[in-house]
Amino acid sequence: MPPEPVNLISQTLLAFRDAVRHVVNWCVENRIVNFAKVHRNLYHKLREAYKLPARLLSFTCFDGRFLVSSYFVAKLIFLYYELYCGGEYGFVNVYCSSSRGA
């Protein structure tokens, strides 16, 4: 039987996914979400490990950093409402009664 044809696009997408996961894990472990620091520390490691083109590596660093920073912001907002609103948080009523001046 002949080997299955190689689908380069799916291989590239899988490598991109794994690289973003690597960036996310690194950002969480080191608590760094600054794009310049992430790019400086991970670019060459990702280039060697995942063999991605330069443009995709920049996207990888940006996307992974963005996911982590978005998570941290959401976590801070949640903690704010837990501390200052007595745990009354929700999607519809975003502001607690103390922030409305009541």
Q: Structural domain tally of the chain?
A: 1
- Measured CA to CA, the distance from residue 43 to residue 14 in angstroms comes to 18
Q: Is the overall model pTM greater than 0.85, yes or no?
A: no
Q: For the segment 36-80, what is each residue's pLDDT rounded down to a tens digit?
A: 999 999 999 999 999 999 998 988 988 888 888 888 888 777 777
Establish if 97 belongs to a structural domain: no
pLDDT band at 100 (very low <50, low <70, confident <90, very high): very low
Range 36-44 contact pairs with CB under 8 angstroms and sequence separation of 24 or more? 38/64, 38/65
Q: Are 20 and 61 in contact (CB under 8 A)?
A: no
Residue 80 lies in a domain: no
Provide the pLDDT for residue 89: 52
Measured at the alpha carbon of residue 22, what is the angle toward residues 20 and 24, in degrees to the nearest 5? 70
Q: Which residues span the domain enclosing 45?
A: 8-75
CB hemisphere CA count around 80 (13 angstroms): 12
Within-domain flag for 83 = no
pLDDT confidence of residue 81: 73
